[in-house]
Amino acid sequence: MTMEIEIVARETIKPSSPTPQHPTNFNFSLIDQNAPVMYTPLLLFYPQNNHPSRPTQRSQHLKTSLSKLLPKFYPLAGIMKERTTIECNDNGAEYVEAQVNCNLSDILDQPDASMLRSFLPVEIESEEADTGCLLFIQANFFKCGGMVIGVCISHKIADTETLSMVLNSWSQVAISGSSDGVKFPEFNAASIFPPSDSKPHITIPHHDGVITKRVVFESSKIVSLKAKATGATVQQPTRVEAVTALIWKCMINISKSSKGFPRLSLISHVANLRKRIEPPLPENCIGNIVGTLFAAISTEKETDLQGLVCELRKEITEFKKTGLQKIKDEKRTWLKMCEIENFLGRDDVDYYMFTSWCRFPLYEVDFGWGKPTWVTLPSLIFKDTVFMVDARDGEGVEALVSLSKEDMALFEADQELLEFATVNPKVAI
């Protein structure tokens, strides 16, 4: 299928009213400072039958409601300043309108993660994420009347909780016509995690030949997988733990097959810190309020799902005990605290980065024409990463796995993986 996208409009959406009387600069926290230079992307798919209005009407609806939202999320309308703060100057958010020359079903029948990047308003890895506009929106309208909303928000100000809050607040404004019912976000992360004097510039490594494949675990398969992953130590693994363990096991098998000698297999997972702080932070506290936990195992010995879940749970428990306090006391990233950087780049170490977006209400984002039929991410250019998002029923899991071409061929043929998951099935409307 040949898909063509025509950009028909591009404009800056200004806040509907001036920034409230708050400090003119939004200061980054320590964790914000160490966030990589990139935009966090998201794609929301809406079928035609939920919105009979014309594209121009829907587009105006999105722009008007976004303008009304920005006064409450006023840092998003600012610009980056010297990599340490956001100047809250009502500069606005960038909005792009595009027309697509095919039907939405053409995309959903066999989703192509690389092609999905075309629905985003800016390159994920753009250096502008560290210097310019913080929020970009692209509304893509299909011949059939379906649409895709592509969102890119600077990682310097937003973790997944923040992104989810922005989108759900925006949809609330779109439904009600007013921002009166939207809570003001909390902007106090820098007081909890004071920034350092340095100005880190952490870029995303670019890897050629990376392939991203979508792997879907249906809810019934999740039940079976969790049962297989249950052991004496972890009797009730979560679905994220079970899926992580299975994919990790596949990665270990790939490494043994292609490299053939014992290695250390290391994985990381991102954890939301809001509820772990005493007293807990409100969920509407924006920024990167996350930590990273690590689990490792030697490939010299045979590994099974139960053992990998046990190792993962052990590190989760340890992180809950000590991770937060070390970030606050030592003012260091979790990566440096664990001295994991000593392992990275070594010939005898494999490192895989996992991120779970499960349990975030991304399927609740309704602008007035119904909830999305599919929520996903496009392909990424950094390899050995796994992003997990909810399936539409809230019980299944969709994993976006990025590997080298050679490793991907082995991964998608793994029989234990295929026992519980399907590689890139059709998305039902």
The reported pLDDT for the residue numbered 332 is 52
The reported pLDDT for the residue numbered 427 is 95
Across residues 89-105, what is the average pLDDT?
95
Question: Which of 20-29, 50-59, 162-171, 328-337 holds the top average pLDDT?
Answer: 162-171
> Is 366 known to be catalytic?
yes
Name the least confident of 128-137, 240-249, 413-422: 128-137
User: pLDDT at residue 330 above 90?
Assistant: no
* Tokens matching residue 272: 């939301």
Q: How confident is the model at residue 326 (pLDDT cuts 50, 70, 90)?
A: low
Q: How confident is the model at residue 329 (pLDDT cuts 50, 70, 90)?
A: low
Across residues 226-237, what is the average pLDDT?
91
Q: How confident is the model at residue 335 (pLDDT cuts 50, 70, 90)?
A: very low
Across residues 295-309, what is the average pLDDT?
88
User: pLDDT at residue 333 above 80?
Assistant: no
The reported pLDDT for the residue numbered 349 is 87
User: pLDDT at residue 334 above 50?
Assistant: no
CA gap 34, 32 in Å, rounded: 5
**The dihedral formed by the CA atoms of 16, 17, 23 and 26, expressed in degrees to the nearest 10:** 0
The reported pLDDT for the residue numbered 342 is 56
Q: How confident is the model at residue 337 (pLDDT cuts 50, 70, 90)?
A: very low
Across residues 253-260, what is the average pLDDT?
88
**In terms of pLDDT, which residue wins out, 42 or 49?**
42
Amino acid at residue number 264: L
The reported pLDDT for the residue numbered 421 is 98
Across residues 28-38, what is the average pLDDT?
87
Across residues 385-389, what is the average pLDDT?
96
Mean pLDDT (the chain, rounded): 89
Across residues 241-270, what is the average pLDDT?
91
Q: How confident is the model at residue 292 (pLDDT cuts 50, 70, 90)?
A: confident
Answer yes or no: are the C-beta atoms of 270 and 288 closer than 8 Å: no
Q: Alpha carbon of 347 to those of 168, 255, 264: distances in Å?
A: 44, 12, 10
Q: What residue spans of 12-92 are helical by DSSP H?
A: 30-33, 55-69
The reported pLDDT for the residue numbered 86 is 92
The reported pLDDT for the residue numbered 338 is 42
> Is 201 known to be catalytic?
no
Across residues 379-405, what is the average pLDDT?
94
| Nearest CA among 91, 89, 94, 92 for reference residue 22 | 89
Query: Percentage of the chain with pLDDT > 70?
Result: 92
Across residues 272-283, what is the average pLDDT?
80
CA gap 250, 350 in Å, rounded: 13
Answer yes or no: are the C-beta atoms of 201 and 83 closer than 8 Å: yes
Across residues 339-363, what is the average pLDDT?
80
CA gap 213, 346 in Å, rounded: 26
Q: How confident is the model at residue 22 (pLDDT cuts 50, 70, 90)?
A: low
The reported pLDDT for the residue numbered 50 is 55
Which of 155, 159, 390, 414 is the catalytic position? 155
Q: Which residue has the tokens 């014992």?
A: 262
The reported pLDDT for the residue numbered 120 is 97
The reported pLDDT for the residue numbered 344 is 58
The domains found in the chain, sorted by start residue, are: 5-192 (3.30.559.10), 210-423 (3.30.559.10)
The reported pLDDT for the residue numbered 339 is 45
